[in-house]
Structure 1
Amino acid sequence: MKKILCLGTTLMLSMLALVGCSSSSESNNDDLKVTMITSVGGINDQSFNQSSWEGLQEIEKDFGIKVNYIESKQEAEYATNIETAVDGGADLILGTGFPMQQAILDAAKNYPDQKFAIVDVDYGQDTPENVVCITFTEEQAGYIVGLVAGKETKTNKVGFVGGMDNEVIKKFEVGYKAGVAEANPDADVQVQYVNSFVDAAKGKSIAQQMYSNGADIIFSAAGDSGVGVIEMAKEKDLYAIGVDRDQSSLAPENVLTSAMKKVNEGVYNTVKSLIDGNFEGGSTLRFGLEDNSVGLAPTTNNISQETLDYVNEKIEQIINNEITVPSK
């Protein structure tokens, strides 16, 4: 059986204790309500919106709180949807994704008594006292799938397809390129952005061009646009690397691996802090390899044991601070 330091399916609730020891849960969890506002891409984006919702569903099952979501069809709807959540009496409003950073920041200032959380955003010193930021070391996730791509490519040509050219996706790209270079200095990385998280057709078109230019592996960090990359990998009988969730089910023979980012755990732990009375606004939570919150997907059937052993070694070196993965 192949062995890999990958992400399991069990939520590791003991990790990253949010503030000291947890107090006893509030007696009336049924009265707590969490409303999630999706980024454009929606609840079934096979990426961070879907993973965030899965985290809310899990904590609803475990603690009996009320959860719901409001889908955003376009960025212009973010502010209105947040207003709807405030009017609906949400105890916590969760925004998903970098594109929502300004809308959540504005709302937090307009409603100082309302609690907010946001995925994939770090406001740094400007974090309002009523906001918790949930962030991840995307560069580490990108790096380890870059190691895989560098070792597994047969053409010495690989690709990266990004959604929007923002800070979060750039960290995936920078880490990926560093991982490819570490594993295979002779490999060339083609890079292109879709400029959308919801344009699967354009993602597919970009992938077709990269495969035609000799790439045999493409890593897509592009939300629903990345589904198009996987579709083209299947048509060409080449490889794609998924993101955020284990996307092997979309094309079992053609998804090499996925750069997992357990957004569901970050969301779960943040809401649990609210339940326990430990919600600490003004703070930023950071999840990475050291707590198994990013990593390779559990499905490793398409990767050689030699590559898996190599990646395991590099993961240990990152965790032990022997390798520092660049993020810029």
Structure 2
Amino acid sequence: MRKRTLSIVLAAAMCASLTACGGGGSTAETTAADSSNTETKAADASEKSDKPLRVCVVYTGNLGDKSYNDSCNMGAQKAVEDFGIELKSLEGTTAEEWKANLLQACDDGYDLIIGASSNIADYITENASSYPDTKFAVIDTTVDLPNVESISFAQNEGSFLAGAAAAMFTTKTDIPNVNEDHIIGWVGGMDIPVLHDFYTGYEQGAKYIDPDIKILQAFAGSWTDPLKGKELTLAQYEQGADIVMNVASGTGVGILEGAKEADKYAIGVDLNQDSDQPGHVLTSMVKRVDNACYLVIQSAVEGTFEGGTTKYLALKDGGVSLTDFSVIKESLGDKFPQDIVDKCDELAEKIKSGEIVVENYEGFGPQA
């Protein structure tokens, strides 16, 4: 039985302004303990050792994706500022590179190695036991080993709200280029379980609003192929979708570009992407990867790192949310559908209270 934890400190570290649908805003600010406590603890840690903590983050894809990887890097850079850690970022676009980068980090003797996504999990599982004195962390999935700390998210809950918003949006035929068909789309990067958890919530949220809605689904097979993302998105618009959710990291740049090119609409992911193609992004499903990365580094700095544990960041913890619709509101003016925001606020409260239980893909969730 895996040991499960959900730290009160973690919940307190979440940005209070990020509440579903009502106050997303920018996610560039990574929050943890108040600044004075952070500085004091960092000073205490530095007194114990003249050498800074050496941290390596292994990415599946490249920085500059304006999405998942950039969010993770924001948390890491914040940790550099607050704790004076030594940081190395290793980027790669293939499975061979991911494995080689992880092994390189192990052999280079880093104190903490963070697998930034679930694609790294298998390589950590295979190798962490051979480096028992090294601390490992994995984000977006769970690895049950004594020197590995895992952090995962209720992306299904955030996606439920995104699906509900999309289902309501596709009925607003007074908005330019919204047709009478009740069809929405969804384009993912790699076909992996965590993205199926995204889709499970998206589908449930959409069908909560309209049980008969049609949802188009596609995978690009890559995190770094914006041309493929655009191609799949344009195809879904051709099939009648008014709005497509992006769940594709760097590939998602093409999804958002496709929305602008077709004069249609999209939903962003991970970071606040509302201004990437202003007037064409309804909202973004924010996933606080920045906080996850920051907090695991903080735990290693302060000596509270707990291997063999999993933290699960749900909607009620501030782990996921929707942005505040402000960019699209400015673009649409008096055509902006305020009822979507109001309904999402209502649904978010029902999820937090447990009145609505969002389904998980197999193997995900707080008890997974």
Seen in structure 2, the aligned counterparts of structure 1 residues 208 and 279 have a Cα distance that, compared at 3 Å, is same
Contact 2:260 2:277 in 1 (8 A): yes
Of 260-269 and 197-206, more deviation after overlay is shown by: 197-206
C-alpha deviation, 1:81, in angstroms = 1.2
2: CA distance, partners of 1:99 / 1:152: 33
Task: Give yes or no for the alignment of 1:11 onto 2:37.
Answer: no
1:254 and 1:7 map into 2 onto residues whose CA distance is 17
Q: Which amino acid aligns with 1:95?
A: G
- What is the identity, as a one-letter code, of the residue corresponding to 2:112? L
Tell me which amino acid in the other structure corresponds to 1:326: E
Q: What is the rounded CA distance, in whole Å, between the counterparts of 1:35 and 1:14 in structure 2?
A: 23
Aligned alpha-carbon RMSD (Å)? 2.0
Residues 170-209 of structure 1 mapped to structure 2, 5 A cutoff: 170-209=196-235
Hey, what does 2:56 align to over in structure 1? 35
Check the 8 A contact 2:21/2:323 in 1, yes or no.
no
Q: CA deviation at 1:23?
A: 10
TM-score by length of 1: 0.91
Q: Tell me which amino acid in the other structure corresponds to 1:133.
A: S
- Tell me the secondary structure at the aligned position of residue 250 of structure 1: coil
Question: Structure 1 residue 137 and structure 2 residue 154: aligned?
Answer: yes
Runs of 5+ consecutive residues of structure 1 not aligned to the other structure: 16-21
Distance 1:147 1:29, change over 3 A: farther
Could you tell me whether the CA contact under 8 Å between 2:30 and 2:74 is conserved in 1?
no
Q: Deviations over 1:251-272 (max 9, x none)?
A: 0110111111010001111111
* 1:11 counterpart letter in structure 2: T
1:229 alignment partner AA: I
- Residue 146 of structure 2 aligns with an amino acid whose one-letter code is E
Contact 2:286 2:322 survives alignment (8 Å): yes
Query: How many angstroms apart in 2 are the aligned matches of 1:29 and 1:300?
Result: 47
Q: 1:254 aligns with which of 271, 280, 283?
A: 280
Corresponding position: 1:169 with 2:195: yes
Q: Return the alpha-carbon distance in structure 2 between the equivalents of residues 282 and 314 of structure 1.
A: 34
Question: Of 138, 142, 150, which residue of structure 2 is paired with 1:118?
Answer: 138
Q: How far is the alpha carbon of 1:250 from its aligned partner?
A: 1.7
Distance 1:172 1:73 in 2: 22
Equivalent position amino acid for 1:278 in 2 = T
Among 102, 113, 116, the alignment partner of 1:82 is: 102
- Paired positions, count: 316
Correspondence for 1:19 = none
CA contact (8 A) 1:246 1:298 kept: no
Aligned residue among 349, 352, 357 for 1:316: 349
Judged with a 3 Å threshold, the aligned counterparts in structure 2 of structure 1 residues 120 and 5 are, in CA distance, closer, same or farther, namely same
Q: How many angstroms does 1:315 deviate by? A: 0.4
- The SS at the match of 2:187 is strand
Give the secondary structure class of the aligned counterpart of 2:284: strand
Q: How far apart, in 2, do the equivalents of 1:266 and 1:6 lie?
A: 20
* Percent identity of paired positions between Structure 1 and Structure 2: 34
How big is the shift at 1:238? 0.6
Which range moved further: 76-85 or 274-283?
A: 76-85
Q: TM-score, normalised by structure 2?
A: 0.81
Per the TM alignment, residue 318 of structure 1 is displaced from its structure 2 partner at its CA by: 0.5
**What stretches of structure 1 move > 4 A for 4+ residues in a row?**
22-25
- The equivalent of 1:107 in structure 2 is 127
User: 2:123 and 2:284 mapped to 1: Cα distance?
Assistant: 30
Q: For 1:281 and 1:312, locate their aligned partners in 2 and report how far apart those are by CA, in whole Å.
A: 36
Kindly provide the amino acid, as one letter, of the partner of residue 35 in structure 1: C
SS in 2 for 1:242: strand
Q: Does structure 1 retain, via aligned residues, the 8 Å contact 2:42–2:82? A: no
**For residues 68 and 125 of structure 2, what CA distance do their matches in structure 1 show?**
20
Pick one of 60, 63, 68 that aligns with 2:83.
Answer: 63
Q: Is the 8 A contact 1:23 1:277 kept in 2?
A: no
User: 1:29-78: CA deviations, max 9, x gaps?
Assistant: 75211111111x21122222211111000111112111120111321022
Q: Which residue of 1 aligns with 2:339?
A: 306
Separation in 2, partners of 1:50, 1:23 = 24
Distance 1:204 1:4 in 2: 26
Please say if residues 144 and 176 of structure 1, whose CA atoms lie closer than 8 Å, have aligned partners that are also in contact: yes
CA deviation after TM superposition for structure 1 residue 89, in Å: 2.9
> Among residues 169, 177, 191, which one is paired with 1:152 in the alignment?
169
Encode CA deviations 1:128-174: one digit per residue, 9 max, x unaligned.
Answer: 10001110011011101111101111331100111122111001101
2:32 maps to a residue whose letter is L
Q: Deviations over 1:170-205 (max 9, x none)?
A: 011010011111122342111111111111111111
**Partner residue of 2:257?**
231
Amino acid at match of 1:144: L
Correspondence for 1:212: 238
Aligned residues of 1:137 and 1:288 also touching (Cα < 8 A): yes
